[in-house]
Structure 1
Amino acid sequence: MRQFNHSEKCLKPEYILVAVVTLFSLSVSETMADDYFSPDSIEIRGNVSRDIDLSQFSHTGGQAPGIYRVAIYLNGTYVTEREVTFSRQAGKLAPELTPEDLLLWGVAHNATAEFMQADVHQKITDPGLLLPESHFAFDFPQSRLNISVPQQYVLRNPQGYIPEQEWDDGVNMAFLNYSYSGATTRRDGAAGVDNSAYLNLRSGVNLGAWRLRHYGAYTHSDEGNQWDNINTYLQRDVKSLKSQFVVGEGQTQSEIFDSFAFRGAQLYSDDNMLPESLRGFAPIVRGIAHSNAQVTIRQNGSTIWQSYVPPGPFAISDLYPTSSSGELEIVILESDGTQRRSVQPFSAVPVMQREGRFKYSVAAGNYRSSDTTGREPTFFQGTGIYGLPWTATVYGGSIISDRYFAAAVGLGKSLGDIGSVSLDGTFSRTQFADENDTGGAFRFQYSKDIATSGTTFTVLGYRYSTSGYHDFSEANGDGYSNWSKGHQDKEERRAYEAWRGKYTKRSRTQANINQSLGDYGSLYLSVYEQQYWGGDRDRNVNAGFNTSHNDINYSLSYGYAQTSHFSSSDQTVSLSVQIPLSRFLPGSWLSASATSNKRGDTTLMTGLSGTALADNNLSWSVMQGYNSQNANTTGSAAADYKSRTGEYQAGYNYSRQNQQFTYGAQGGVVLHPYGLTLTQPLGETMALVKAQDAAEVKVLNNSGLYTNRHGYAVVPYVTPYHRTHLTLDTTDLGQNVDLLGDTRTIVPTNGALALADFPTASGQKVMFTLQGANVPFGATASVQNDNRTTEGIVDDQKRVWLTGVPDKGSLQVRWQGGRCTAPYQITASSSSVLNVTAACH
């Protein structure tokens, strides 16, 4: 057994000293008496006096004064995160805040007479002098500043309230977002190849609170090319009105009247600007593909989405619609050239508002026809929705034009456990060249969530229109523009326009129902039927059942679509199974499906799919299928890769009749004050991560998103008027850069590029050894690098560890009653940690 030798340095008292100092410096007590640590209580080995200056650590909270980035809480509720200057007051760190800060965070301006009379820019370290029984408490280990103020002095803001002063209009910038997809198809027995492509472009410029946007799309095929200017507009928010102002080409609001395109100006309420607790929709498009099919979605005659889907049921949830309600045309182009069309409407639930809430919209300008032959008269539209007592809402509006007038009035009512309903009527008078039509439309809507049974009636609606009723689009000759625009066959187009002139809408019924079955899965049903005066109708039904057992997913889907003018209908049933293979191949699934249509054609598919790479940003699939029609064998392989600069797809499909290569790319380019950044596909509201010189740092919770070589990244989707916390992964930083904080909070306005600034310390990581002056243990050493100061504490061997150190400079060393300066110069070295000796005088 090894004997203990008193001459060995098994455990230095100096190490015990460091541990004790660290323990006390990281402890904060709010409810107990203040802790005190006396340096004299440390037994120095050999009873030899040592130079020690621990005065700043004598009390709880006794860290070095300076600027710290902290999360600020008022009475336990998070309010913001920012840098705060801390000074030493009575041996502790105290924040230097102002009455203006407290007002911003929710303290009432008339809380006390002393608070009202104080200069809003006056620095206060003891809030109790202005607000009795108030105090600050700094939790240093958690970087958290707790502010306690009696509730009687605090405004009663709604849950989720964010002061307007925190809303960030972002930095000035310009961007271009693109979405490209294409295919090259070679058909047996046909000369040459068929080529098709679709390019969707959204571009914009931000200057302060103003947003300039353009939205366009280009379609290419062997039959010809077409460019659609979907809209161009200038927009900004009006914070005092909780509204958005738009001038240019846009869509009217759709709560009361059907939305239509126009050129002009519009001012409307924006519910996103309200606290989340006071906030009262793009649809999901479902369908079933028989093969590797191209799916195209149009709204108001313009293509807003186009891509390729594998065989079986599909659900498209990433639409970028041009309005919040209306009708979508869905075109499914199968690999054998078969084309199927259907119509899907979408709208919000009844327009209920809280008591006292007034929601409005006013628009004026010229109607924007989807057809060059349509009328574009001047118009004015105004709508209003007001929340009454007794859980009721009244709403109404009017459209005034030279040959058209419409007025609407309605009432919404919550019926408690029964649900909520709305009833409204719209009267219209339309002047045509040869006659005048007068009519009315009457609408009923119902919404209900039944928590006990898991049933959700998203929308149950019925609308009846008399034969003389026309909405504003019909009155201006657009009818149903989705069919009329973009078709190359002029005879087909003329036939459709003649049909729409003969048949007007009579009644419309729609329902969206979701039913949870607990552990047994869920059911959904979506039904839409539009009847016309004259007997024709459109009908669209989608239903399905989803369940899982032992991690195996099962899905049964049914779809039916009938369109009146084209006298076409389609009925499809599909069964699919998905089995995880994580035991054998991590992140992969085996799938099998069977799909049959009303003609008796059956398609059987089996495949393997999964994700790969450390960030799961590569997805892949291989499939093999058999079609009973002509005993056709099909197959496909596809891959999708998401990087920080975009998202890219490639695929190969084959059958006995043809071979097809598909490809696609989505991404964006953002020009901002700090440079040019390539990005993933962009949403409307974004964030710019700035971590200067911190290259290849991952932005957490964002697949494939890393900073570029300069330390910048664009987070493509953030929620406007909502606190978003962005965090960087600091586990793999470069050797000459440190992040001085890994989380930032932003509150962007609509369309903003909000800056999330992560300060970095670029420079060397150095262990300095000080010589010359008698520097005591506990002294503070600092070095200036550009406009940032890096600090450290000198240990018992006159060493100090600093990061972000420039190659040449001077250490400023301070302690109670003394100071010295240590010039230094670092020579080239391949080591990630440098040891430098500097003389301090």
Structure 2
Amino acid sequence: MTSVVLRITRNSNYFASPGRDIVKNNTSDMTSVYSAIAAPTGGIFLLPTAIFLLCQSGIARAEDYFDPAALEFANPQQKTADLHYFAKSGGQQPGTYPVSIWVNNQEIAQSEVTFVDSNGALQPQLTPAQLAEYGVNVSAFPAFNTLHEGEPFTHIERYIPDASSRFDFATQRLNLSIPQAAMNVQSRGYVDPARWDEGIPAAFVNYNLTGSQTRQSDDNSRSSYLNLRSGVNFGAWRLRNVSSMEYDRTRRWNSQSTWLQRDLKSLKSLLRMGDTFTSGDVFDSVQFRGVQLMSDDEMLPDSQRGFAPTIRGMAHSNAKVTISQHGYVIYETFVSPGAFAISDLYPTAQSGDLEVQVKESDGSVRTFTQPFSAVPFMLREGRVKFSLSAGRYHSGQSRTPSPTFLQGTLFYGLPAEFTLYGGSQLAQDYQSWALGVGRGFGELGSLGGDATWANTTTPSGKRSAGHSLRVQYQKDFAGTGTSFSLASYRYSSGGYYDFSEANALESRNGLVDNKRSREEISVSQAFGGMSSLAISAWSQEYWHRQSRDETIHLGFYSAWRGVSWGVGYYYTQSSDRQKADRSWSFNLSIPLGGPLAESAISYSTTSGNNGRTSQQASLYGSIPRNPNLYYSLQQGYANGGQGSNSSASLDYHGGYGTAQLGYRQDSASHQLTWGASGSIVAHPHGVTLGQTVGESFAIVRAPGAADVAIQNGSNVHTDWRGYAVVPSLTAYRKNTITLDTESLADDADVELEGQTVIPGGGAVVQANYQTHIGNRVLFTLSDSRGPLPFGASVRLHKAEDEQGAAPGGMVADGGQVYLSGIPQEGTLDVAWNADNISRKCALHFHLTDTVQQGQSPVKTVSGVCQ
């Protein structure tokens, strides 16, 4: 029997409205039943008769639906608006809505989508280009051949079998279900290069200004330093410059480097022209001015960057493969019967053991361990990495020659965890070739080795030939927490010169102490997650020189309940000094509580082999109730005649950059220091100030929404125009920029608080937010027949030349509608359908006539629609 639910109220003005359940059986004889029951009688109803008649409704079976006429009991002469869009569960009015788009339960994008009515349900209008952007293999389905790339269509299931769409209006989420076979096969974390945003035309400059004024007993001095990193973006091209200016008694300007670059998407590489450096993975890196084309691993999916082994195994059925490391699941997938190979693991540690579990469909489980290790240059199987550089060598020293040269390197990932690599450097008086191989040996670690041969023509015309051998080793002992992060050894024969040494021969009259051998080692040991021991050592010998360069560092660090401490030992021996430097240090930091909960005290002391000892006590942290202002107070003492010293500083970290002010004094001098840093960005909509920007960043555009916090940046807010600089984004990755709507002013609203952007390398992308700036108003609308009907469409009238969508909404109970972004004066256009007749009216309003209750930002207006 069809159920009928009545919610009875004693409000004589109306009987039913949204949220009050009225279900009516679709039979003509029940209309009189509802008319008798629902007639307002001061809250008294003919209940026995109603119950009797309702019990008979089971005689007729039909589809349940909501009776819109029940909404107008208080005003029966007013015809109900056409509400057939809401007759079905989840029904909504067609239109354009800001939504988040999910494909196979993975969020892909956020954008505005137009929905049309289809038999009472909303269908999204999509384009083939959008589907391709979402990873759908559009070309595999002939039905799309009839559409242009940007031509909208509905009913995705008509184009892709077994596909479907579902719009969750409550969460503004469009769910697309696409069969896996219809998706392009891509590595995890893959972002289609077609979605990389080249950004908007823009020019910017990062500035870092520091200065000091020092007063001594016999002299006063002032100095300042300005560092500028500037750039211009036009299309896919990026022009960059790094310059500096120094001033003490004279002013010196230095343009350090200028270059032009762009992404080459098809090659996953970067083209750069101007001042740059060669890659340093095979040969030592050198500075030059010329052209460079090199692979950029940042363009690859996270699951294809770095090194991770290919996991191979056998499944006897449709099985689930789970891969864990250190007890944590890092990968899970389903495989078909037969041999499988998993090659898209995200890079984890440089080495370790991977636990692989294969769970068959009958519940049986097999496990095995895959140990792996990698030296820094190892690549995944099938990966290619290259670099080509051509130009004039630049050492930065005036007397050193600048020969034209060509350098190329190539790496290739082979099966069985082998990586083969090599390269060449060619110049008129210098030629070198390198060849090497790296391999992982599982539990034994990974080993790499290479050999380089070089021929050098000295300034006297003599030819010198030699070779250099290098070995590298990497190993983590997961069970003990010990890591050999890098152990390296290089030996060079007496006739071997690297490219920098060869070019220095002319400026030093053929006398260069070329390197003979070099050893490096770095070891770390963790203790229970709260303490660690680190040891690093480096040593280098030279031909024709008796002494060597050596550096040793030993450090122990620990932390417990916020208290941290550490001890360190440093040893340095330079080949041009007879005596080595030895020093040790101790530091302790203790956080405070109460009103100084954001502060800490610290103590440190250092001692050297010259007998000098210094001690320093500090109080530092952020100012209470002002987390952007940091302070530091220090008092120190040093022996050897230096005596005591003291200092104080204030640092402000704001939305437009940072500022510093400090003072320091000791027995011999007084010094005042200052500094400021930030960025200035010019873009098509004006000039915006911000914090120091990175390689890729964003301009937030929310016109009129002033002082709105951006959740992606520390203390970043929109300026008085509604613009802000988000200083750092991850290139080639999805970045979500979110406005903190809690910080919106009472007269501002935004339709979509989050935007997803995917910047290309060095791009300045724009995140646009549609804002409604104006009053928040609750209108009560009526006409000659009484309150306007539920479901009538209301929109603010806008001139044809006005930008942006006009605020709008739908009439609820009693002719009420809430709108935001309303000006002080304007006109509302209202439209609805009743009895298949289109009706419309207009209301001109002045908000000076409104009533505002208490502290509520919502104003109320009542008016008669003409």
Change beyond 3 A, Cα 1:11–1:653: farther
Partner of 1:467: 494
Is 1:143 matched with 2:172?
yes
SS in 2 for 1:788: coil
SS in 1 for 2:807: strand
Partner of 2:348: none
Change beyond 3 A, Cα 1:695–1:354: same
Change beyond 3 A, Cα 1:98–1:614: farther
Confirm or deny: 8 A CA contact 1:812 1:822 kept in the other structure. yes
Question: Hey, what's the Cα distance between the residues in 2 that align with 1:606 and 1:12?
Answer: 77
Question: Hey, what's the Cα distance between the residues in 1 that align with 2:215 and 2:629?
Answer: 28
Is 1:38 matched with 2:66?
yes
Partner of 1:814: 831
Question: Hey, what's the Cα distance between the residues in 2 that align with 1:711 and 1:580?
Answer: 39
Confirm or deny: 8 A CA contact 1:60 1:92 kept in the other structure. no
Is 1:516 matched with 2:491?
no
What is the TM-score of this pair, normalised by structure 1?
0.83
Change beyond 3 A, Cα 1:514–1:719: farther
Equivalent position amino acid for 1:570 in 2: D
Question: Hey, what's the Cα distance between the residues in 1 that align with 2:731 and 2:407?
Answer: 27
Change beyond 3 A, Cα 1:596–1:829: farther
Question: Hey, what's the Cα distance between the residues in 1 that align with 2:579 and 2:700?
Answer: 51
SS in 1 for 2:143: helix
Equivalent position amino acid for 1:38 in 2: F
After superposition, where does 1:245-256 map in structure 2 within 5 Å?
Answer: 245-256=271-282
Q: What's the CA shift for 1:396?
A: 0.9
Question: Hey, what's the Cα distance between the residues in 2 that align with 1:652 and 1:719?
Answer: 37
Is 1:835 matched with 2:835?
no
Partner of 2:351: none
Structure 1 unmatched runs, 5+: 1-7, 23-34, 281-347, 480-493
Question: Hey, what's the Cα distance between the residues in 1 that align with 2:505 and 2:692?
Answer: 33
Structure 2 unmatched runs, 5+: 1-7, 23-62, 307-373
Question: Hey, what's the Cα distance between the residues in 1 that align with 2:392 and 2:69?
Answer: 85
Choose which of 223, 228, 248 in structure 2 pairs with 1:201. Answer: 228
Is 1:594 matched with 2:605?
yes
Q: What's the CA shift for 1:454?
A: 3.0
Equivalent position amino acid for 1:780 in 2: S
Is 1:782 matched with 2:795?
yes
Choose which of 649, 666, 669 in structure 2 pairs with 1:638. Answer: 649
Partner of 1:18: 18
Equivalent position amino acid for 1:788 in 2: A
Is 1:162 matched with 2:191?
yes
Question: Hey, what's the Cα distance between the residues in 2 that align with 1:524 and 1:49?
Answer: 86
Equivalent position amino acid for 1:85 in 2: T
Equivalent position amino acid for 1:401 in 2: A
Q: What's the CA shift for 1:45?
A: 6.8
CA RMSD of aligned residues (A): 2.8
Change beyond 3 A, Cα 1:565–1:804: same
Partner of 1:748: 759
Q: What's the CA shift for 1:702?
A: 1.9
Change beyond 3 A, Cα 1:392–1:14: farther
Partner of 2:90: 61
Question: Hey, what's the Cα distance between the residues in 2 that align with 1:773 and 1:567?
Answer: 104
Confirm or deny: 8 A CA contact 2:681 2:688 kept in the other structure. yes
Question: Hey, what's the Cα distance between the residues in 2 that align with 1:200 and 1:662?
Answer: 16
Q: What's the CA shift for 1:827?
A: 4.5
Confirm or deny: 8 A CA contact 1:392 1:411 kept in the other structure. yes
After superposition, where does 1:417-436 map in structure 2 within 5 Å?
Answer: 417-434=443-460, 435-436=462-463
Q: What's the CA shift for 1:567?
A: 4.5
Q: What's the CA shift for 1:121?
A: 3.9
Confirm or deny: 8 A CA contact 1:616 1:703 kept in the other structure. no
Equivalent position amino acid for 2:535 in 1: L
Paired residues, what number?
A: 737
Is 1:665 matched with 2:676?
yes
Q: What's the CA shift for 1:543?
A: 2.8
Q: What's the CA shift for 1:17?
A: 2.9
Change beyond 3 A, Cα 1:122–1:716: closer
Choose which of 363, 376, 389 in structure 2 pairs with 1:350. Answer: 376
Change beyond 3 A, Cα 1:38–1:436: same
After superposition, where does 1:54-453 map in structure 2 within 5 Å?
Answer: 54-115=83-144, 119-187=148-216, 190-221=217-248, 226-280=252-306, 350-434=376-460, 435-453=462-480
Deviates more, 1:172-181 or 1:37-46: 37-46
Deviates more, 1:211-220 or 1:404-413: 211-220
Partner of 1:532: 542
CA-to-partner distance for each residue in 1:14-35, whole Å, 9 max, x for gaps? 697333589xxxxxxxxxxxx9
Question: Hey, what's the Cα distance between the residues in 2 that align with 1:807 and 1:249?
Answer: 57
SS in 2 for 1:526: strand
Q: Percent identity?
A: 37
SS in 1 for 2:129: helix
Q: What's the CA shift for 1:134?
A: 1.1
Question: Hey, what's the Cα distance between the residues in 1 that align with 2:278 and 2:807?
Answer: 55
Q: What's the CA shift for 1:723?
A: 0.9
Choose which of 785, 788, 798 in structure 1 pairs with 2:815. Answer: 798
Partner of 2:361: none
Equivalent position amino acid for 2:523 in 1: I
Question: Hey, what's the Cα distance between the residues in 1 that align with 2:398 and 2:748?
Answer: 59
Change beyond 3 A, Cα 1:797–1:275: same
SS in 2 for 1:611: strand
Partner of 1:608: 619
Q: What's the CA shift for 1:644?
A: 1.6
Question: Hey, what's the Cα distance between the residues in 2 that align with 1:117 and 1:44?
Answer: 48
Equivalent position amino acid for 1:71 in 2: S
Larger radius of gyration: 2
Confirm or deny: 8 A CA contact 2:677 2:692 kept in the other structure. yes
CA-to-partner distance for each residue in 1:412-464, whole Å, 9 max, x for gaps? 11222333322111111111122221111111222334433333433322211
Q: What's the CA shift for 1:562?
A: 2.6
Equivalent position amino acid for 2:636 in 1: G
Partner of 1:627: 638
Q: What's the CA shift for 1:52?
A: 4.2
Confirm or deny: 8 A CA contact 1:524 1:543 kept in the other structure. yes
Is 1:760 matched with 2:771?
yes
Equivalent position amino acid for 2:396 in 1: S
Question: Hey, what's the Cα distance between the residues in 1 that align with 2:197 and 2:125?
Answer: 24
Confirm or deny: 8 A CA contact 1:773 1:820 kept in the other structure. no
Change beyond 3 A, Cα 1:782–1:46: closer
Confirm or deny: 8 A CA contact 1:763 1:803 kept in the other structure. yes
Confirm or deny: 8 A CA contact 1:615 1:704 kept in the other structure. no
SS in 1 for 2:504: coil
Question: Hey, what's the Cα distance between the residues in 2 that align with 1:47 and 1:454?
Answer: 78
Question: Hey, what's the Cα distance between the residues in 1 that align with 2:743 and 2:295?
Answer: 45
Q: What's the CA shift for 1:43?
A: 8.7
Confirm or deny: 8 A CA contact 1:14 1:796 kept in the other structure. no
Question: Hey, what's the Cα distance between the residues in 2 that align with 1:463 and 1:524?
Answer: 23
Confirm or deny: 8 A CA contact 1:683 1:716 kept in the other structure. yes
Confirm or deny: 8 A CA contact 2:405 2:425 kept in the other structure. yes
Question: Hey, what's the Cα distance between the residues in 2 that align with 1:641 and 1:17?
Answer: 55
Confirm or deny: 8 A CA contact 1:350 1:412 kept in the other structure. no
SS in 1 for 2:181: helix
Q: What's the CA shift for 1:377?
A: 0.9
Question: Hey, what's the Cα distance between the residues in 1 that align with 2:74 and 2:208?
Answer: 75
Choose which of 491, 500, 504 in structure 2 pairs with 1:477. Answer: 504
Q: What's the CA shift for 1:402?
A: 0.7
Deviates more, 1:762-771 or 1:633-642: 762-771
Change beyond 3 A, Cα 1:417–1:82: farther
Is 1:686 matched with 2:687?
no
Q: What's the CA shift for 1:588?
A: 0.8
Change beyond 3 A, Cα 1:37–1:374: farther
Question: Hey, what's the Cα distance between the residues in 1 that align with 2:11 and 2:423?
Answer: 83
Q: What's the CA shift for 1:185?
A: 2.5
Confirm or deny: 8 A CA contact 2:595 2:624 kept in the other structure. no
Question: Hey, what's the Cα distance between the residues in 2 that align with 1:650 and 1:196?
Answer: 15
